[in-house]
A and B are shown apart, each in its own frame.
Chain A
Amino acid sequence: MHPFSILTLGIFVAGYITARWDLVTRLYELAIFAWKYGVVTRAAKGFAVLSLVFLLIFLPVERLATREGNLHPRSIGSGISAREQLRRREHDGLMRVFWPADLPRSDLRGVVVGWRNSALDVLVLAILEEVEPRNVEWALKMGTLLRNAPHPVSRIYELCGQSSIHVLGVSNNTPDTFEVDPSWIRVTIGPGRQPPAVTCARASSIQIILFERPHPGRMQYISLNPIELALGDKHDGFKHEVPGGCEDDDEKEERKKKEQKRQLVEKLTQHSIFRRVPSAKEKALAKIVNQVNCAWELEQLLQKNVSRIGTRPKRTLSVSERVVESATTARDMMLVWMWDMFTIYVWPVIKKIFVLGLMAHRVAAEVLLRILEWRAQPRYAALKDISATAQQVEIRLQQFCYWPMQYVTLRLRKNDWESVTTSHPDYIRFYNSLWLVANDVIIGIALGSYIIDNSGWVAEEISQLLSQYTVDALQSSISWLMGWPAGLKLNNELGAFLGDLFLWVIDYWSSCIEALRPVLPHVIWFIGFSSFAGASMPIALFSDLLSILTLHIYSFYLASARIYHWQLNILISLFHLFRGKKHNVLRNRIDSCDYDLDQLLVGTILFTLLFFLLPTVVVFYLNFAIARMAIISLKAVFDTMLSCLNHFPLFALMLRVKDPGRLPGGIRFELRDTQDFRHSVTDTTQQQQQQQQQQLPSTSVIHLKSVPLNFKAMFHQYFQMGHRIRKHYLSPRVLLCLLTGKFVPPLNRKNLYSLQYSMLPARRAGVVEMWNAVNSLPASSSSFIGKDRKRIPILAKGGDAKLPGNYSGGRARGCG
């Protein structure tokens, strides 16, 4: 201490003491007091005891501990600190590594880069060989590794849900080379071993999930949910448009069942006692699927840019190489100039003409569609609901309206990474419908040329069939019923009356058909000619022709069903009278009633009469009902053929055979045995192997595979339609209708045709939207080095969200 400051302190203390002399005297009194009462001796005793304890216990223990510590030294790197153990317990120490199975395997040292989804959840993208981890980290931070990307990298980041690519670890490094981050993985790979040996300082057990990277150039991808071949589930939306009155009974029933089920599920959810919060690892699965889809393209990009890291000697070009290079450059420049000329002067003209032609067709299509969809009142049937031909024409026109829109969306796909998979189902749909139409036309040309060549013979055959089955067969069956059919004793008079009535109408009808006979070859010729628009056209026309030419059977069926139904009703009410009861309409129940004697008498007589006349009416009714059913089933066959021609998943089937990776139907995991993988460490020495086995945490090797779409899902729509038809026609209700002579309602056409419309959006784009869409294309199609990059609109499944916002102009398609 400085002498001056000591002096100052001394002066201060002296001054303080003189100023506060009473304090000093108090202290003196305190000391005297303490001495008197033995405080000092007690304090001295305590001090002595404490030092004794220190000398006898603490010092020897400390000595022993250091000696033991020296005997069993604890290395710093290998142990796990208590904090580390605690952290492991929190995250249960499970590390998940997604590893591309087709990654090149080499013995060289490398740096593993990829996505880090959470602390112990990584997806490996690539192994960059012979580079320093620090350099790679720096390059990733600066974005050097992602330079010259064909499309913006931010899109990939957005898709994968991460903000950057990380260095995940090192491969084939001997452990002591340099310090690594504890969260990094150490990988040992080599040409001989398939599952890489992965260790991580933080992980206590490891899942290695090997996956085959889908090739985005071939449009392969994986997805959690099966690919949707049909265009969304918009048909539920259709049902709500229908006013409640004309909803079918079975639909109502279906909805009731659904509601019941929903309530059950609701109850079930209440059974779960607590709701588990999914961890980050569990929530990451959807992102990981996208990352897997992007893995191929990103690896290519990274490997291309590896040479930018660090310094690499570059050889200068030799003279001959330079000559070759300049020659190719000159050729390329020439080509580029010619191409430029073409794109600037010729291409726009061609395109303009094409677009104008397209728009003209579109307008014509719009007019036709409006005619087909026109209905006098909302509840009335439109033309397309009555006739199969109109329906077919409408489907083709709708497809024609939809194609340009589809094409535009598919074109925009080119402006994005190939790994973006949202538009792949659209691609399949577009080419499927194109292919189906092409097929249809090819079959149609063959069919049409045959029909045209043999129109006379075909017409002859058809008219013969018609007269044989719809006239002669009916006539003979009616005259059989007028006698005593199968020994049944019918009422002669009523039978003769009914039979004569029907025979008379048939005679008239056959004369009509006779009048039609000379025109028939022309009609057939026309049908043949129409089949150049596709084989579905003549089928639809034949279906319509069938319903026109069997109009008389339909009317007979209606008439006889009416008579039968009336008679049955009268019989039932007379039976009630017979029992002394009556039907109370107001309360909808059976009441007893006091009839007079004459009422009872007349009613009983009438009941008897009608009851004995019933069999005669029944046989006539059955005859026509069976004929009607035969015609309905024939038309069903035609409809099935039509739906096959219009909707068959031909392209999807072809893809399924050619490249199942393009039709993902979900994912599948496969547990592999780890034993062989552990024993396959043969290239290292024995000691190293032992060490490695000790170090390897418990590892499970899992293969992630894409499940191709199964055939049942491909034909899902067909199954659904079959189910609907079966439910409608083979239900007890229909049988009851048949038995009581009620009119069997035909299946709603909209149900039957939901299959065919499943390839089309619920509302079609208007003319103006199409014009906008088609004109939006040039900017993207002619720019080979993208000028402005548009994002592909995310294709939602519903028809509405599919198109840009100004699509409200399109009218909703009506329903039958």
Chain B
Amino acid sequence: MLTTAPRLYIRRPSPTTAEFTVTTCPPLTLPLRLILLTLHLLRLVLVAAAILTLYSRFLLLPTTTTTTTKQLLPLLLAGDILTFLTTLLQTAHFSPPGLFLTRLVAPIPDWALALLSLGAIYAAVCFQLHKTESVLVLRGLGIQTCSSTSCCAAAVLGSGWGGVGPARGGGPSKWGWGTRTRFIPTEKIRDVLINEAFRGFEVRYYLIVVVEGEEELVVLFPGLLPRRKIVEAVWRGIRGCLFEGEGGEKGDE
């Protein structure tokens, strides 16, 4: 429900420029947005809980009592970040949920707890829901591949890229953190091919660009490896868009 099979969106403002985006993100409807928002809140809560557990187990001095309640806002305004954080964590620790959490994790040994909470933080931060990869084809310039893993930014920025449909497909956090682009000038492109390979017990068709003077082939959509129908559509689009005199074919989905 949260992800779909890879879908292709084409953006083509002029016949000589096209962007093919393959994404696993389904069209954002209202319930889906709500679910994504909840998911991110959950993630936030998980990280906070893990940090709090680590703090109360390893850093909290046993002598501190609940009486040291300071005003939080003045501390933050004064710019004393360290004290602010400590006070905040202490307050959280002595609040009912914090105490419940402490009681919950009490039987777990130290090393297991540390591993567990670090793993939880890592999983919560690096968990990727959707994957988006795109290819931008510019006649006379070249091909640019771009892959972005839209983790947390997708839902946050989600409101910004409203009506997603085949008419207007754009990536969500296109130029955010973790976006990798690579530009290949047309002069260096020897050919664009569809290749096939075995993967497990199936045959996968994938698009490759043969780059002149390079040993490695450049695989388009390397992370998603969409199905043959999409690959063919993209291939036709690239052929029609990139090279002069071969226009006419149009990739459409």
Contact = CB atoms under 8 A, between A and B. Distances in A.
Given A121-B140, A224-B185, A285-B187, A262 B215 contact: yes
Interface string B136-166: 1011111010000000000000000000000
A813 interface: no
Name which of B14, B185, B191, B243 has the most chain A CB atoms within 10 A of its CB. Answer: B14
B15 A698 contact: yes
Contact of A698 (B13, B19, B182, B191): B13
A560 to B, nearest CB: 37
Interface in A524-577: none
A278 interface: yes
Contacts of B185: 224, 282, 285
A224 B144 CA distance: 13
A697 B17 CA distance: 13
Interface in B19-37: 19
A265 B13 contact: no
Interface string A189-225: 0000000000000000111010000000000000010
A197 to B, nearest CB: 14
Contacts of A700: 13-14, 16-17
B141 A669 contact: yes
A324 interface: no
Contacts, number: 87
Interface in A166-204: none
Nearest to A262: B215
A92 B245 contact: yes
B181 to A, nearest CB: 5
B11 interface: yes
Interface range on chain A (Cβ under 8 Å from partner) = 35 or more
A667 B187 CA distance: 15
A268 interface: yes
A268 B141 CA distance: 24
A677 B144 CA distance: 23
A633 interface: no
Name which of B16, B144, B170 has the most chain A CB atoms within 10 A of its CB. Answer: B16
A255 to B, nearest CB: 14
Given A698-B14, A699-B14, A700-B13, A207 B138 contact: yes
B227 interface: no
A283 B247 contact: no
A320 B247 CA distance: 70
B140 A282 contact: yes
Name which of B187, B210, B245 has the most chain A CB atoms within 10 A of its CB. Answer: B187
A707 B215 CA distance: 23
Contact of A669 (B15, B144, B244): B144
A446 B223 CA distance: 50
A121 B138 CA distance: 14
A701 B168 CA distance: 15
Interface in A111-146: 121
B186 interface: yes
B190 interface: yes
A173 B148 CA distance: 43
Contact of B17 (A224, A271, A668, A702): A702
A205 B215 contact: no
Given A670-B175, A700-B14, A268 B210 contact: yes
B14 A667 contact: no
Contacts of B182: 666
Given A92-B244, A278-B187, A669 B175 contact: no
B183 interface: yes
A489 interface: no
B190 A272 contact: yes
Contacts of A279: 140, 244
Contact of A666 (B19, B170, B183): B183
A206 B14 contact: yes
Interface residues of B, number: 32
B9 to A, nearest CB: 12
Interface in A268-314: 268-269, 271-272, 276, 278-279, 281-283, 285
B215 A207 contact: no
A34 to B, nearest CB: 61
A271 B243 CA distance: 19
A269 B183 contact: no
Contact of A674 (B13, B175, B210): B13
Contact of B15 (A205, A670, A673): A205
A801 to B, nearest CB: 20
B15 A261 contact: no
A708 B54 CA distance: 37
Contacts of A424: none
Contacts of A285: 141-142, 185-187
A707 B186 CA distance: 19
Contacts of B14: 205-207, 697-700
Contacts of B13: 671, 673-674, 698-701
Contacts of B141: 96, 207, 209, 282, 285, 669
Contacts of A670: 175
Nearest to B217: A268
A339 B168 CA distance: 66
A671 B140 contact: no
A196 to B, nearest CB: 16
B186 A282 contact: yes
B191 A272 contact: yes
A262 B216 CA distance: 10
Contacts of A224: 185
A279 B185 CA distance: 12
A101 interface: no
A669 B140 contact: no
Given A92-B244, A265-B215, A667-B183, A281 B140 contact: yes
Name which of B11, B13, B210, B244 has the most chain A CB atoms within 10 A of its CB. Answer: B13
B187 A669 contact: no
A668 B140 contact: no
Contacts of B210: 268-269, 272
B234 to A, nearest CB: 15
6 smallest A-B Cβ distances: which pairs? Answer: A700-B17, A698-B14, A700-B13, A281-B140, A700-B14, A282-B186
Interface of A: 92, 94, 96, 121, 205-207, 209, 224, 261-262, 265, 268-269, 271-272, 276, 278-279, 281-283, 285, 666-671, 673-674, 697-702, 707
Interface of B: 11, 13-17, 19, 136, 138-142, 144, 168, 170, 175, 181-183, 185-187, 190-191, 210, 215, 217, 243-245, 247
Given A205-B16, A285-B141, 7 more contacts: A92-B244, A96-B140, A271-B191, A671-B13, A673-B13, A701-B13, A702-B138
22 contacts: A92-B16, A94-B140, A96-B140, A205-B16, A207-B14, A207-B141, A268-B210, A272-B190, A272-B191, A272-B210, A276-B243, A278-B187, A279-B244, A283-B187, A285-B186, A668-B181, A669-B138, A669-B144, A671-B11, A673-B170, A698-B14, A700-B13
